[in-house]
Amino acid sequence: MPTKIELFAALAAVGLLVAVVLFTWNTAINKERHAWELVIAKQQAEAEMLLQAAKDRAAAAEARAEADKREMEQAYEARIAGLRQTTSELRGRIAAAGGLYDVEGRREGGGGAGSGVSGTSGDTVGAPAGCRLSEATSQRLLSLAASADAAAAYALTAHQYAVKMQELHDEQKKAAVAD
């Protein structure tokens, strides 16, 4: 039969063995957990960098879109100012020519035998009195022409803005694919 010292030594050896196994197991688990924590931290850092890059691209695209919008608004205002000046000059020329005149043959009963415009100079001398349009009709035609020109300027500006936005969108798609 084993003595008390032998029994105590055996129990101490088993206890020491259990302690070593538990310590080794705990160390291995801690190392694995630490490795996973490092991987997760690395992935989080990469995700944050990608997110920040995407935010920066979005902010740059928004700033560019706003700058393009301002540029288009300025171009539109310049077109409208040019149209106003041209319309004003046209109204002055029409007033100097004695008003607008109907064109011979444009419609049945459209006036007398003359065209109201001789040659290309716009001279209306000798035009029959029946060919001259009324002041109200002349102003209405000029107003319609000015409105049509303004609508055309707006349509042109809107088209150019849409093209720029499409280009910006295409650039963003390329940048997103590159990332």
pLDDT digit string, tens, across residues 36-85 = 999 999 999 999 999 998 899 889 989 998 999 999 999 999 999 999 99
CB 100 within 8 A of CB 111: no
Is pLDDT of 137 > 50? yes
Select from 117, 76, 73 the least CA-distant residue to 94: 117
Predicted TM-score (pTM) of this structure: 0.58
**Rounded Cα distance, 68 and 18, in Å:** 74
At residue 18, the 3 state secondary structure works out as helix
pLDDT digit string, tens, across residues 94-115 = 888 888 887 765 556 555 444 4
Query: How many CB atoms are located within 10 Å of the residue 154 CB?
Result: 13
Give 90's contacts (C-beta < 8 A, 6+ positions apart): 142
Is pLDDT of 149 > 90? yes
Query: How many CB atoms are located within 10 Å of the residue 129 CB?
Result: 8
One-letter-per-residue 3-state SS of 50-70: HHHHHHHHHHHHHHHHHHHHH
**Rounded Cα distance, 72 and 107, in Å:** 41
CB 87 within 8 A of CB 142: yes
